[in-house]
Structure 1
Amino acid sequence: MTATIATKVTGEVTDKVTDLPAAIAAHVRDGMTIALEGFGHLIPFAAAHEIIRQGRRDLTVCRMTPDIMYDQLVAAGCVSKLVASFFASGSAGSLHEVRRRIERADPEPLEVEEYSHYGMLCRYEAGAANLPFFPLRSYAGSDLPKLNPNIRKVADPFGGPDIYVVPPLRPDVTIVHAQRADRLGNVQMWGITGAQQEAAYAATRVIVTVEEIVEDEVVRADPNRTLLPAHAVDAVVEVPGGAHPSYTHDHYVRDNDFYRDWEPISRDRTRLLAWLDEWVHDLPDRQAYLAKLGASRWSELETGERA
């Protein structure tokens, strides 16, 4: 891996491989709108930890289902606004740091803009397609339009009933994790996918962390897995284990013990801040994180042959 974000051009080949500190330093700035997407698996925890290490502030962070990763980003002081749907700790408890901020402004308030899952997806789709809004029927009978003034009703120009619409979401940077990519930035992922493709095309810049960087021939041999082509990607970073404690299909399973352990950690803010010091601030990178996690525990999470 190279320690610089600058792409290297040799003939017609543009190498987008860099390291994670360089990618975050080059593309993520204070005050930006950042989407970190991944649905159930492929959640970009390593990238979020690097954002915390670099001390980014006043971020608007976006995600379908904010989970432990967002609890950590908020606790670290990186976030001033959360745009999201369905707040949960991977079905293992509450996000207590997020709750403290919303319910009691403790230690300071957190602005929240809430949508349904489909509403978030529609916002990304509108951003990706450069549309002024996206219509959807699923808010009929919901209380969300009363809570969120950005969910609005408009007249159907073809004479039908009024319909709800949501505005486009155009992140400054979208960050996703995937199984593999080539050095040009053609990214392949499989298993459960969420809004990664839409969020990437809606964004100005895209950072992708991957379990491995492979030769061009591997990608070309299985093109159906290419969810993000090279033209949509600005930086590629090889970060094995970059989605832990979530999982990466065909690489390692979800660390359910971690998710269960997070609830009591998050409930006690002093303990949460100590966890951030021990597992993020005091570690230089994901390799050190996995070493601290331990070879025995990691081997239990790893799966068999890769597809």
Structure 2
Amino acid sequence: MAEFLNLHDAVARYVDDGATVAMEGFTHLIPFAAGHEIIRQGKRDLTLIRMTPDLIYDQLIGAGCVRKLIFSWGGNPGVGSLHRLRDAVEKDYPNHVEILEHSHAAMACAYEAGASGLPLAVLRGYVGSDLPKVNDQIKFIECPFTGEKLAAVPSIRPDVSVVHAQKADRKGNVLVEGIIGVQKEAVLAARHSIVTVEEIVDDLGATPNACVIPGWAVSTVAVAEKGAYPSYAHGYYPRNNRFYKEWDAIARDRGAFNEWLEKNVLTAGGDA
């Protein structure tokens, strides 16, 4: 059964310097509170994994927490680039970040393979793509049954996966509602997992076919109200679209970013 800890203690226990960390959530339920706690604790040399790195990864990179990024598409949704990511990749500020780019399909398949305990994922894709020229983790194999050329990528097996959800029950079972990404697969693929939730309840009230992450698969549950803000949590609060627009100007300038980080994460406790 999952252990219940506060967010500070959960991050301190499971996120080590040099760890491989997956933080997932698609459109909503993005684990901003957990990301800010990682920044506050000064974690370093992390390999971050995410299908669509957006603002929280821009913040982690700008704070100097990251050594490598494994991803598929990175940007500020509907706005533009991640300027702290670009500054790190192009100008080594605040440190150089190595990037390993995949397609969305490959990332999803790699998470599923990791959750299944498999060493690799096989998919139709990448044929004719330029990504294999810059990503040495993409290989091609021949199907032993049909002779078809298929792509193979390593499974994703993070040291720790971090996701946000609406609620957990007192046994540590977690309910994810709304748009579902790869949260369940990320948790099942990881050695350890941290799930932040809006609240703890006696009964999840899960409907048939609901996405429930079982308590036996979760290392720790931490309550973090508005833990996905400024993204949204279906049924709890809306997305702060204005902040996503404002982030472009904040992230473009090193001084503006560092000032924002000090005021909103390091000093004020992380409420964007």
2:182 is matched with 195
CA contact (8 A) 2:166 2:199 kept: yes
Q: TM (normalized to structure 2)?
A: 0.96
1:148 is matched with 135
Q: SS of the counterpart of 1:219? A: coil
Offset at residue 207 of structure 1 (A): 0.6
Q: TM (normalized to structure 1)?
A: 0.85
CA contact (8 A) 1:16 1:183 kept: no
CA contact (8 A) 1:219 1:226 kept: no
Decide which of 52, 65, 68 is 2:52's aligned counterpart: 65
Decide which of 143, 168, 171 is 1:181's aligned counterpart: 168
2:217 is matched with 232
1:204 is matched with 191
Spell out structure 1 runs of 4+ moving beyond 6 A: none
**Is the radius of gyration larger for structure 1 or structure 2?**
1
Decide which of 212, 220, 230 is 1:245's aligned counterpart: 230
Q: SS of the counterpart of 2:152? A: strand
Task: Give the Cα separation in 2 of the matches to 1:261 and 1:63.
Answer: 23
Q: CA separation of 1:145/1:23 partners in 2, compared to 1, >3 Å: closer, same or farther?
A: same
Map of 1:155-174 to 2, 5 A cutoff?
A: 155-174=142-161
Offset at residue 105 of structure 1 (A): 2.3
- Identical pairs, percent: 50
The answer as to 2:256 corresponding to 1:271 is: yes
Q: Deviations over 1:27-55 (max 9, x none)?
A: 11000000000000000000000000000
CA contact (8 A) 1:206 1:234 kept: yes
Task: Give the Cα separation in 1 of the matches to 2:54 and 2:260.
Answer: 16
Q: SS of the counterpart of 1:60? A: strand
Structure 2 alignment gaps of length 5 or more: none
Partner letter of residue 168 of structure 2?
Answer: A
Q: Deviations over 1:54-79 (max 9, x none)?
A: 00000001001100000000011110
Offset at residue 18 of structure 1 (A): 1.4
Partner letter of residue 99 of structure 2?
Answer: V
Task: Give the Cα separation in 2 of the matches to 1:202 and 1:128.
Answer: 4
Offset at residue 145 of structure 1 (A): 1.1
Taking only aligned residues, the RMSD between alpha carbons, in angstroms, comes to: 1.4
Task: Give the Cα separation in 2 of the matches to 1:39 and 1:107.
Answer: 27
Task: Give the Cα separation in 2 of the matches to 1:15 and 1:104.
Answer: 42
Q: Deviations over 1:253-280 (max 9, x none)?
A: 1100000000010000111011110000
Task: Give the Cα separation in 2 of the matches to 1:159 and 1:178.
Answer: 42
Task: Give the Cα separation in 2 of the matches to 1:15 and 1:32.
Answer: 21
Task: Give the Cα separation in 2 of the matches to 1:113 and 1:202.
Answer: 19
Decide which of 25, 42, 45 is 1:55's aligned counterpart: 42
Offset at residue 223 of structure 1 (A): 5.6
